[in-house]
A = this chain, B = another copy of it.
Amino acid sequence: MQRFFVKEDAINGDTVRLEGDDARHISFSLRMKRGDRISVCAPDGSLYTCRLTAFGEGYVEAAVEERTVCDTEPPYRVRLYQALPKGDKLETIVQKAVECGVYEIVPFESRNCIAKTGNNPEKKLERLNRIAAEAAKQCGRGIQPRVLPTRSFRQMLREAGEAALPLFCYEGEGTVPLGALLKGCEREIAVVVGSEGGFTPEEVEEARTAGLRLCGLGPRILRCETAPVFVLSCLSLSRELTPHEA
């Protein structure tokens, strides 16, 4: 069933109102008719099965038939802090990270980033959020993960440091293997991944001082677009896919 993400105020009792792109998508691309069924995901994790009831100028209304809890969301929230990579790699990272269960994606600038935020950051951000939304629909997420505006390295450290488990992925010395760091059951997790050029020794030291956990991803050197998928997959194995004793 086609899935749509709405804001809280779109749901009013047993009626859901879809506007803008969603309404156009239903009416013109999907050519759906009154009586057809859709899935609607609310920000609180509710999943509504609805039947289309009315088509108006720029909106569509649907009646709620059933309300369940969406069971495709991970039992943790990962904020991925990604140093700006070259070219359109950030788009690939956003798409794959959403599939693998990321909660939010926060790009940041570091010393060795070749890419910079550049002109028209609003337009770029809008495009990234559109990619996230598409990926969320396609893979069956219960929420629509957001991409947030680019942070400075310092800002990133401050925010990431507030997570219960702040992981700073690093291929150098002095790290703890990811597997050892995933033994707990923290709900709020930050994952910091560098760009092609990696981090400078000063940045690594700053991260350590800010309380982040230097985290090793194994014996091979992963590309900056592979590392986020790697970490999110590992998290999924350790918390979603492996039956643990209570």
Contact = CB atoms under 8 A, between A and B. Distances in A.
The range of chain A's interface size is: 35 or more
Contact of A237 (B100, B138, B182, B223): B182
A176 B217 CA distance: 26
A99 B71 CA distance: 31
The CB with the most chain B CB atoms within 10 A, among A99, A177, A237, is that of A237
A238 interface: yes
A226 B71 contact: no
Interface stretch (A36-44, A60-68, A151-159, A228-236): A228-236
A139 B222 contact: yes
B71 A223 contact: no
Interface string A212-246: 00001111111100100111011011101111000
B241 A179 contact: yes
Contacts of A220: 72, 99-101, 139-141
A178 interface: yes
A180 interface: yes
A238 B243 CA distance: 13
Interface in A162-194: 177-180, 182
A99 B178 contact: no
Contacts of A242: 177, 179-180, 182
Contacts of A138: 221, 223
Nearest to A181: B241
Nearest to A136: B220
Contacts of A101: 218, 220
A51 interface: no
A140 B243 contact: no
Interface of A: 71-73, 96, 99-101, 138-141, 177-180, 182, 216-223, 226, 229-231, 233-234, 236-238, 240-243
